[in-house]
């Protein structure tokens, strides 16, 4: 860690006691900031003492800026600032103690101390210059928390691999290299699995090894903070500090990106640079993510976000790039001034949505400096404003900057929407489903361009979003929603709940065989079998081998069901060798239409058959996929015979609309006074522009409040 060169610069130090530590240190200019001078101590148990100083960002002395997680902790630890007692959180206290030198002072910027957190006006002002604060720091120190045996080993491995990269002497078998370093952990997991009756896998995947080896470091709470994105993005020099161990940020990213790309058997890259969410850095509690390999999790891939967002900021016009910048060479070549300024802001807002903030206003304010750097025009942060106003301003600003309605895919109207306009996502909700890239191929509105404006014609309190589109149909029937509590991991429900809900959805689909007193053998909108249409709807028309395999295996178990044991209780999926697809009696499951009997299974298992039990793993995986993909959503059918899936708030009578320039259909509530967006939808037979008019003069103006 570099040591600041502490030259004499203009600083204001509080010399007299005051009832408030900040009273004698006002920030009187727009460029004024406070810094703290951490006093040296011989013992880590000595009282933490520091002096608060005022400086100018125009010409600051060399200082280091701390990036750390508040963790929602109460302020319980005592330090002395300018001779007065101040309470800080446990994590802040631990970081200060590690930063304190034994013989020299250290000049540091720490938000919890350098900003008067009780003053909303001061917080608002300091947030406006936060990017500059981290950008002008001689070094940004990322505090991950105290070290463990696992974190120490992870840091050693990164340093070892980095030196091998520099020397060109990579291990001939990276998988074996990682396996040796994880030997004790792997053996422990195998022994634990055997005790549960599980058969150990012969081959430990590269992804599993990476997950196992770096899990302790990559699941620290720092990764989940929305503020950390800009704190690292604007830094000129950044290091990770875990206990007493220090690692350059560029080295960390370089090694993990390289490991994530490697296939030691073929010497080729088999994964994209971002790595998948389970096997990389799962940062947020919010995103219900399931990858193509059946891995599930609730954490956001923060390295993917960093590689995208940091690349845009670190390679911005006017900044000299460094060889160690943690982005690819191809990306650097692409980062011309014109390209930087043409970058959309929505992908950044989308990436950051799954991250955490103690104050919901910070979900957008933490990105203010990044947006401004990339040409976004937004009102300055003001914590006095309501959450409705703040979220509306940023949503409107991003749509106008990007000249795109793509952001509407984040709309999900819950039963408690905070009074937000229906076109404004609740950015504080980290649990809203994010759409995988595979679903962004849809073109429900053809290749039309976005046409929109903002108006206050409906209400003067907030803007309405005015678009052009067409009403496709109306919702006729709705099925039960897939609740977020359903699934294998739930302590309240059994895995069979997922199958029961899908069974009811299937029964609704079966009704589409009958229309106006006639029986049809096809799904009329696409002229394919109803079975195939329902299957494609469950998969959202993703033709991925893993998804198809998972559906086949899951459906076989689904047809077989779960049979109560001798004691009358149902086994829970995921219990070792008991994790079989045991069969219920006919009374256990609703009557099934013969026409949809082959729907979910190529195995065609009957309830009375004695075919061998099915491997539980794909069954569990696909059940988790369904919950992760459709939690908070429900199946519906329309008056004209379409089937689809949309938010659980979808009601009978809602409209299905297509909007110019937006790739998904939307479910809309048509009230007496105005329309309100509910959510995006998958509507089978509409997703590829089939219902988009060839003559756009047929489009109607729609205003969403």
Residues 6+ apart with CB under 8 A from 297: 277, 278, 282, 289, 290
Q: What is the DSSP string of 360-423?
A: TTHHHHTTHHHHHHTT---PPP-TTS-HHHHHHHHHHHHHHHHT--GGGGG-B--S--TT--TT
Q: What average pLDDT does range 648-677 have in this prediction?
A: 92
Q: Which residue has the higher pLDDT, 121 or 514?
A: 121
Number of H helices, E strands in the chain: 21, 25
Residue 260 has pLDDT above 70, yes or no: no
Domain ranges of the chain: 413-553+617-704
Q: Which residue has the higher pLDDT, 165 or 121?
A: 121
pLDDT of residue 431: 74
Residue 337 has pLDDT above 60, yes or no: no
pLDDT of residue 489: 41
Residue 370's pLDDT band, with cuts at 50, 70 and 90, is confident
pLDDT of residue 603: 30
Round to whole Å and give the CA distance between 34 and 52. 7
pLDDT of residue 501: 86
Q: Which residue has the higher pLDDT, 695 or 629?
A: 695
Q: Which residue has the higher pLDDT, 524 or 517?
A: 524
Give percent above pLDDT 70 in the chain: 65
pLDDT of residue 190: 52
Q: What average pLDDT does range 647-662 have in this prediction?
A: 96
pLDDT of residue 417: 64
Q: Which residue has the higher pLDDT, 256 or 222?
A: 222
pLDDT of residue 375: 83
Round to whole Å and give the CA distance between 669 and 678. 7
pLDDT of residue 196: 58
Q: Which residue has the higher pLDDT, 155 or 295?
A: 155
What is the pTM assigned to this prediction?
0.78
Residue 475's pLDDT band, with cuts at 50, 70 and 90, is very high
Give percent above pLDDT 90 in the chain: 41
pLDDT digits (tens, 9 = 90+) for 400-421: 999 999 999 999 877 556 889 9
Considering Cα of 111, then 112, then 113, then 119, what sign does the dihedral take? Answer: positive
Residue 176 has pLDDT above 80, yes or no: no
User: Cβ-count burial of 388 within 10 angstroms (0-12 exposed, 13-18 middle, 19+ buried)?
Assistant: middle
Residue 477's pLDDT band, with cuts at 50, 70 and 90, is very high
pLDDT digits (tens, 9 = 90+) for 76-87: 999 999 999 999
pLDDT digits (tens, 9 = 90+) for 425-458: 999 988 777 666 667 789 999 999 999 999 876 6
Round to whole Å and give the CA distance between 273 and 261. 6
pLDDT of residue 213: 72
Residue 545's pLDDT band, with cuts at 50, 70 and 90, is low
pLDDT of residue 542: 80
Residue 151's pLDDT band, with cuts at 50, 70 and 90, is very high
Question: What are the C-alpha distances in Å from 341 to residues 90, 214, 345, 448?
Answer: 41, 36, 10, 24
Q: What average pLDDT does range 205-219 have in this prediction?
A: 71
Q: Which residue has the higher pLDDT, 121 or 180?
A: 121
pLDDT digits (tens, 9 = 90+) for 481-521: 987 654 434 333 344 577 788 888 988 999 998 877 788 88
pLDDT of residue 441: 84
pLDDT of residue 593: 38
pLDDT digits (tens, 9 = 90+) for 270-317: 332 223 222 222 222 223 333 333 333 332 344 454 555 555 454 444
Residue 182's pLDDT band, with cuts at 50, 70 and 90, is low
**Which two structure tokens, joined as six digits, stand for 421?**
């306009």
pLDDT of residue 145: 95
DSSP-H helix ranges across 489-595: 496-510, 530-538, 545-560
Residue 604's pLDDT band, with cuts at 50, 70 and 90, is very low
């Amino acid at each position: 860690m570099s040591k600041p060169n502490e030259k004499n610069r203009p600083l204001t130090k509080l010399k007299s006691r005051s009832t408030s530590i900040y009273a004698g240190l006002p920030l009187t200019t727009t460029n004024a900031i406070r810094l703290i001078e951490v006093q040296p101590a011989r013992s880590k148990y000595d009282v933490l003492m520091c002096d608060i100083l005022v400086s100018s960002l125009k010409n600051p002395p060399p200082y280091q800026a701390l990036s750390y997680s508040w963790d929602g902790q109460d302020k319980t630890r005592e330090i002395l600032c300018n001779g007065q007692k101040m309470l800080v959180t446990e994590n802040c206290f631990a970081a200060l103690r590690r930063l304190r030198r034994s013989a020299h002072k250290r000049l540091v910027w720490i938000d919890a101390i350098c900003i008067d957190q009780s003053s909303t006006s001061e917080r608002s002002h300091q947030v406006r210059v936060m990017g500059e604060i981290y950008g002008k720091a001689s070094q940004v120190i990322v505090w991950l928390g105290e070290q463990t045996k696992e974190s120490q080993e992870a840091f050693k491995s990164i340093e070892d691999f980095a030196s091998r990269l520099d020397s060109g002497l990579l291990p001939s078998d990276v998988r074996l290299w990682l396996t040796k370093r994880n030997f004790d952990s792997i053996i422990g997991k195998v022994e634990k699995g055997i005790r549960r009756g599980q058969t150990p896998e012969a081959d430990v995947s590269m992804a599993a090894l990476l997950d196992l080896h770096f899990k302790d470091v990559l699941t620290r709470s720092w990764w989940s903070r929305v503020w950390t994105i800009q704190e690292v993005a604007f830094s000129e020099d950044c290091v990770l500090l875990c206990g007493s161990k220090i690692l350059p940020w560029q080295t960390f990213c370089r090694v993990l990106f390289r490991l994530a790309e490697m296939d030691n058997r073929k010497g080729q890259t088999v994964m994209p640079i971002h790595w998948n969410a389970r096997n990389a850095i799962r940062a947020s509690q919010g995103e219900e993510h399931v990858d193509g390999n059946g891995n599930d999790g609730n954490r956001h891939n923060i390295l993917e976000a960093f590689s995208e967002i940091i690349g845009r900021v670190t390679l911005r016009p006017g900044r000299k790039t460094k060889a160690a910048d943690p982005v690819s060479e191809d990306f650097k070549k692409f980062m011309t001034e014109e390209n930087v300024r043409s970058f959309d802001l929505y992908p950044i807002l989308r990436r950051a949505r799954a991250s955490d903030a103690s104050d919901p206003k910070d979900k957008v304010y933490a990105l203010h400096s990044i947006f401004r750097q990339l040409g976004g025009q937004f009102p300055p942060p003001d914590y006095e404003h309501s959450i409705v106003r703040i979220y509306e301003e940023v949503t409107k600003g991003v749509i106008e900057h990007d000249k795109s309605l793509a952001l509407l895919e984040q709309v999900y109207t819950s039963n408690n929407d905070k009074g937000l306009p229906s076109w404004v996502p609740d950015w504080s909700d980290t649990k809203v489903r994010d759409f995988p890239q595979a679903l962004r191929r849809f073109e429900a509105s053809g290749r039309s361009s976005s046409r929109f404006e903002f108006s206050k014609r409906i209400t003067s309190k907030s803007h309405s979003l005015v678009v052009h589109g067409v009403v496709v149909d109306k919702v006729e029937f709705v099925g039960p929603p897939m609740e977020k509590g359903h699934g294998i991991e739930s302590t309240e429900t059994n895995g069979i709940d997922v199958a029961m809900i899908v069974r009811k959805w299937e029964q609704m689909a079966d009704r589409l065989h009958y229309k106006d007193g006639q029986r049809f053998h096809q799904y009329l909108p696409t002229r394919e079998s109803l079975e195939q249409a329902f299957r494609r709807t469950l998969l959202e028309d993703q033709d991925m081998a893993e998804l198809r395999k998972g559906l086949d295996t899951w459906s076989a178990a689904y047809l077989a069901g779960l049979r109560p044991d001798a004691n009358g209780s149902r086994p829970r999926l995921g219990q070792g060798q008991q994790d079989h697809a045991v069969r219920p009696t006919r009374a256990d499951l609703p009557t099934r239409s013969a026409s949809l009997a082959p729907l979910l299974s190529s195995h065609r298992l009957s309830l009375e058959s004695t075919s061998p039990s099915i491997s539980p793993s794909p069954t569990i995986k696909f059940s988790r996929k369904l919950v992760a993909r459709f939690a908070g959503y429900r199946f519906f059918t329309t008056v004209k015979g379409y089937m689809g899936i949309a938010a659980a708030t979808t009601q009978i009578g809602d409209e299905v609309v297509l909007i110019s320039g937006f790739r998904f259909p939307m479910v809309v509530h048509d009230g007496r006074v105005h329309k309100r967006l509910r959510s995006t939808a998958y509507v089978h037979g509409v997703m590829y522009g089939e219902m988009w008019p060839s003559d756009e003069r047929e489009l109607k103006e729609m205003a969403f409040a």
